[in-house]
Amino acid sequence: MSQSPSNRNGPGLAQIPASHRRKRKVLSCEHCRCSKLKCDRKQPCGACTRRGCELSCSFLVPPSVATTSIHIHPTKSNPSLSNVPSRNTSATPFASLRQPATSCLDDRSERSGPDEIQDSHDSRWEAVLQRPFPEHDPIAATDTLSPFSIGSSISLQDIIEILPSRTSCDCLVSHFFNHISALFPILHGPTFQKQYVAFMQQPYEVDLSWLALLFSMCSLTLNTMEPSDPRLVDLWPAGSHSKEQEAVTLSRQLQQTAMVCLLQDQFFIRHKLSTFEALLMVIYNLSHNESVDQGWALLGMALNIGIALRCNVDSQGLNHLETERRRRCWVGILTLHTYQAILFRDIDMTFLLDIKTTMPADVNDADITKEGISRPSSSPTQMSVMMFKARLFRISTQICHHISGPSRLEIEPLNKFDATIAEEQQRWDSTYLVDGAPNILDSSYAYWCILQTYAHQLYLLLHRPFRHSQSSYFLATSRERCIASSAALLGIHRQIYEVPLLRPYLWLLRGVTSLKALHAAVALNSCLLDMPSSFDSSSYREELNLLVLRIESLSRRSAICLKAHRILLQLQTQFGAENPQLPNSGTRIESTIEDWTDMREWFGPDLFNWNLDNVGNLPAV
């Protein structure tokens, strides 16, 4: 005997006597339900508390809802979501969505005074202006047209199988928190540890955005380790003869899978804190292994997601731990903007200085709990480098705004910013050096070196307009500063490459640090060619030649260094020590790589005219 559709799917709601029907669990209070607001289900709820009507906050089920049967027909889910694990959502009850928008207001108008009616109108206005909540019902989300939802998806099982073995993952995650995290501490270690253990126990219940974070973390960490490291032996095929190439290939595969996870989690329209964390890790990875400009579009998306999640301000209802996690992510995105500001000088980041921001606490992970935060330590913490980078973000943003305007040729701002950078350098000295010497007991000296690269990069940007003797704004001190800072950048690059104490940070030379060294090489050559013939430049030329050799060695695992090496070879040819210097050539240097602060032109060799004469002049047009 055939069954009706309702019998095939179990008894329909209409067939159950009203007295036996199970009452719908109320997920929103009366005020929030009528105003279509997100309710946190506290008593009283946060929305009613903000509106001053906490005394009337009630979760009683109105008779009309308790006795009315509403049958929701099953909706065929989008095939692209069939392999995505389910999530707990807090969507508005279907019943309240189906009712006319004025029903609650009309009913309350009969039993409410003028103040309550006005409060209801204000609440409705607030509801209209409120940003949609990031979490959405998975089925309802499929009705939204997203530019990233087109195309076939990969099953969760196939995604998880791309991950390295449990042993290798443990090694990569441990290495990240021991040697990388302090440079970009957007994660709270103990929280990640719990999430990681939960994933390993129930891998198919994972949040896809968190899985993207894990993939990108493993990709980044793999690039920081030597392929010959015995801890990585399980990652390479038996008898592999090219472990360096295998490492590059696997790292890129892991990074690509991180993006797949974000796409299948529909991060463009659905986002949460794990989405923000994963995007930041992806961009940081790109900056240090591919190119800073490749993360530019993602950086804009991450910024907007961070604002939508209110990571820059403290939200009500969050404990101390969740608040600090958001603050750390926000300062993380500021430091990523620093790369863009100091490497691409035409991008004005000053709008970020106007966004209200609460900085994270300068404490260790263990000092942060849900209940509170311990007093800041007088010693450097796991967050100290990041706090210095946050200060650098503000300084570099102000400097880059200054050098893009007419004030770049004024002496007073030049002296002011010089003094500001010098003050920061003194702070780093007192924090990370021991009586002016490297600390051999921890990674302090590595942090000092990293921060110094920012300072000398900013010195070069500030003094460039004043460094040439044929310029009407020439300052001998600026030329000296450019030479000194260029040499300092090359010296730090060489130390990280050669000094055993800094070996764990060799990976930095495959990204942003080598971009700064390239900038220093171009600036140094420009200044040396402008020096009098009596000036002995042999030591500087030797440093430049050594840089070329280091960059060539690094280019085997770095796309950035591969491109930089080609440019440095051109510089060697055009500005080598053997090139004669002709006196009274007023334009010989001013026209040489006229804008040696525009990093993007260096990475598009076809855009640059390398047909210079033997003294570095551009041919006359």
Buried b / exposed e across 224-252, counting CB within 10 Å, b at 16+? bbebeeeebeebbeeeeeebeebbbebbb
Tens digits of per-residue pLDDT, 555-580? 988 888 988 898 898 888 766 544 43
The sign of the CA dihedral 572, 578, 579, 581 is positive
Alpha-carbon gap, residue 283 to 216, rounded angstroms? 9
Q: Taking the CA of residue 404 as centre, how many other CA atoms within 13 Å lie in the half-sphere pointing to its CB?
A: 16
**What is the phi/psi pair of residue 230, to 5°?**
-60, -20
For residues 287 and 294, give the distance between their C-alpha atoms in angstroms, rounded to a whole number: 8
User: Is residue 102's pLDDT more than 70?
Assistant: no
pLDDT value, residue 237? 80
Mean pLDDT computed over 482-495: 97
61 vs 585: CA distance, rounded Å:
88
Strand partners, 611: none
Q: Answer whether residue 593 shows pLDDT above 60.
A: no
Which residue is associated with the tokens 């995105």? 333
Structure tokens at 243: 């472990």
Give the pair of three-digit tokens for residue 343: 């490497």
C-alpha neighbours within 13 Å on the C-beta side of residue 410 = 11
What H or E segment, with its residue span, contains residue 388? helix 384-403
Note the pLDDT tens digit of each residue in 380-417.
999 999 999 999 999 999 998 898 888 889 999 999 99
d(CA 277, CA 207): 13
DSSP element (H, E) containing 5:
helix 5-8
Q: Which of 103-117, 225-239, 271-285 has the highest mean pLDDT?
A: 271-285
Q: What is the mean pLDDT of residues 478-502?
A: 96
Model confidence band, residue 123 (pLDDT cutoffs 50, 70, 90)? low
Cβ(443)–Cβ(182) below 8 Å: yes
User: Cα separation of 22 and 464, whole Å?
Assistant: 75
Q: Report residue 145 as tokens.
A: 């047209």
For tokens 């019943």, name the residue: 95
Note the pLDDT tens digit of each residue in 422-433.
999 999 999 999
Q: What is the pLDDT of residues 16-35, one digit of tens each?
A: 444 444 445 556 787 777 76
d(C-alpha 100, C-alpha 51), whole Å: 23
d(CA 9, CA 306): 43
Distance CA 378, CA 149 (A): 49
DSSP of 482-533: HHHHHHHHHHHHHHHHH-GGGGGGGGGGGTHHHHHHHHHHHHHHHHHHTS-T
Nearest to 287 by CA among 344, 226, 211, 235: 344
